[in-house]
Amino acid sequence: MRRLAIAVLGALFITSSAHAAHPGLPADLAAAAETYDQAQMNSDKAALERLLAPDYRLFNSGGQAQDKASFIADSVAPGFHMNPFHVEEPLEKVIGDTALLGGVATLSGTDGGKPFSARLRFMDVWAKREGRWVVVFTQATRVPTS
């Protein structure tokens, strides 16, 4: 289930008003995070191309490393769909032109047309490059079930 780990990308904060949901974040970062979440939910290739840095890397919950092209291919593959989700234990830190956005999410949807569900702890690293925020790195780890 290679694509399952892909679902953890992004700030994962689905809201109707990105800045209102993230009052401690710069408005442009909050908007980028919201757009990124929606791009993942809608398998929006163009938005993912814009929001992921050229040197993007994902260390997914299966222990594999993926690059930008691999992540996007999995995200827009036929039979892949991610349902809306809620982030628990959110973490948001902005350090100059770098931001850490993460938390825990229970993800579900279909992968290759087959249902999946996974509880993951994730961290996205964002960087402000050439005046806009992009995701440069993601780490995802499965949360053990009790």
pLDDT at 19 over 70: no
Q: Which of 9, 54, 55 is nearest to 32 (CA)?
A: 9
Structure tokens given for 146? 């009790």
SS3 19: helix
pLDDT at 11 over 70: no
pLDDT at 1 over 80: no
Structural fold of domain 2-142: Nuclear Transport Factor 2; Chain: A, (3.10.450)
Q: Which of 139, 131, 106 is nearest to 26 (CA)?
A: 131
pLDDT at 49 over 90: yes
pLDDT at 138 over 50: yes
- Of the pLDDT bands very low, low, confident and very high (cuts 50, 70, 90), residue 12 is very low
DSSP state for residue 6 in the 8-state scheme: H
- Of the pLDDT bands very low, low, confident and very high (cuts 50, 70, 90), residue 95 is very high
C-alpha–C-alpha distance, residues 33 and 84, integer Å:
15
Percent with pLDDT over 90 in the chain: 68
Bigger pLDDT: 5 or 35? 35
